[in-house]
Amino acid sequence: MALNLSSTPALPSGSDILAPFQIINLSNWKLTLPISQRDYFKSGGSSPAEILPSNENPLNIKPLNQGFSDSNYFYAVDVDKDGQVDEGIDYVVFRTPLIGGATTTNSSYVRSELRELYDWQLGESTSLANWNNEGKHRLQATLRIDKYSANDSQTVIGQIHAKDSDKALIKLQWDGVNKPIRAIINENPTSGKPFSLEFDTVGLNKFTYDIQLNENTLSINVNNTTRQLTFGEGRMSKQWDDHEFYFKAGNYAQANSASGGVFEVNFYKIAVEHSAAEVPEVLFIAGSQTLGSGDQLLVNRLKTNGYNVIVKDDNLASTADTLGKELVLISKSASSTIVSNKFAAVDAPLITWKNELYDDLGLTGEQKDVNFGSKSSQRSINILNANHQLAANLNGNVTVYSSARVVGWGAPGANAINVASVAGNVNQSALFAYEEGSSLVNGTIAQDKRVGLFLDNTSALTTNALNIFDAAVNWAVA
């Protein structure tokens, strides 16, 4: 329907001095308006008009980040009328009149709302301007609700949306003067299953929010109250991890689009940050700083899988080197005499394929060839617990060496997880582990996860062996 815009709102003094882009960095956003392309641009269809941060806007309309302003929908207010931006005082008005207008796909509501354009290039579809959840992604805002519809006083003020889902990961919603701010979370990107988390009741006062997605952890903060959720834990589906996302901020009125009211939301700040994933560090303790072919193969494997590997000679390595490390690995090439029980109590996951250290670490008893040992001329191990992550989706007799080599083994305690044995002897565990907090054979408590591996110091490892190594690393750091 065509809109009657003859009734332009009475604007506060100073509304024509600054442009919105001077208060909010709009270089990586597009603006969706509550009016159709046909009505706004005098051409196009019934979809909402969008203002881009480029010269591609119809009718020579200014780019969003170079001066666009519209007193009906989106404009800045210079409170003291000095022509200078006063942070926290001057603001941008997102105005959504409920006079019909145009709605987006899968919605019956109108909006004056920004959609983030992450790493967008001129000429590309804006639907491709998204980010994955690797690293840290943050949307911060300071705002105040100024006007609302008394009959239906709800508006969405911040979102994380997924590219290939019609379900928002989160909608942060103002529900009315006397109601708390509410985060509406969808459990699943396919089925939705929304639930709510409540925050402060802010009324018409200025408040802040901070929405972050850091790897798989969603964090929502409103006025210094924080709630956190993690994909794959509790109610949250792991399926969210397979999606790309984008932020939205503005005034998405959850009210009858033709009820005749108006929503106005004043934003003093909207800021987005994206930072690359921190590269986790692991400590690799070997017999020498100059690695043999077997150690080099595993170090390269770790690097390929995204780890920064710190190699330490066993003579020089100390417990101080484990601080801040995601994982400690002790190679077959390390000296059991030098290393001994030095790392037994470290508060970090530990994997070793030096079977002579099993007793020093409390993983087995102390008697060689009874509680730990090795078997020569082997090419395979026998998977006993195929359902465990450490089994790397393998089962039965599995070839781990391309030529006959030594398989290390241990006889771990009752609290261990036995995953694989020496071929032909189920009492000699070739792959075992302890969960954090488990009682070890020597009566101590595992300060973090511990894994004993069968590996010989060789590059003659099969794909199966490397997959088991990867599984051990992934399980230990999870």
pLDDT tens per residue across span 112-139: 999 999 999 988 999 999 999 888 999 9
Could you tell me which of 170, 145, 114, 113 has the C-alpha nearest to residue 268? Answer: 145
| The pTM of the whole model exceeds 0.85 | no
* Residue 285 host element (H or E): strand 281-286
Give the C-alpha separation, 217 to 290, whole Å.
Answer: 39
Indicate the pLDDT class of residue 257, thresholds 50, 70 and 90.
confident
Confidence at residue 259, expressed as pLDDT on a 0 to 100 scale: 86
Cβ atoms < 10 Å from Cβ of 145: 22
Residue 189: what are its φ and ψ, rounded to 5°?
-70, -15
If residue 184 lies in a helix (H) or strand (E), which one and from where to where?
strand 182-188
The CA angle 205-210-215, to the nearest 5 degrees, is 165
Tokens of 309: 């590997």
pLDDT exceeds 90 at position 401: yes
For the four alpha carbons of 450, 359, 373 and 336, in that order, the dihedral sign comes to positive
In this prediction, residue 5 carries a pLDDT of 43
Q: Is 322 left (phi over 0), alpha (psi -120 to 50) or beta?
A: alpha
Q: Are 249 and 174 in contact (CB under 8 A)?
A: no
DSSP string for residues in 432-463: EEE-TTPBPTTS-B-SS-EEE----S-S-B-H
Per-residue pLDDT, 105: 86
Mean pLDDT of 206-211: 98
Cα–Cα distances in angstroms (integers) from residue 441 to residues 5, 293, 306, 415, 475, in the given order = 79, 33, 34, 9, 21
Instruction: Write out the DSSP string of 405-424.
Output: EEEEEE-B-TTSEEEEEETT
Rounded CA gap, 245 and 366, in Å? 53
Residue from 372, 386, 390, 389 nearest 442 by CA: 372
Over residues 297-315, the pLDDT tens digits come to 999 999 999 899 999 999 9
Confidence of residue 327 (pLDDT cuts 50, 70, 90): very high
Please report the pLDDT score of residue 7 as a whole number: 47
At 299, the amino acid letter reads: V
Instruction: State the distance between the two ends of the chain, measured CA to CA, in whole angstroms.
Output: 55
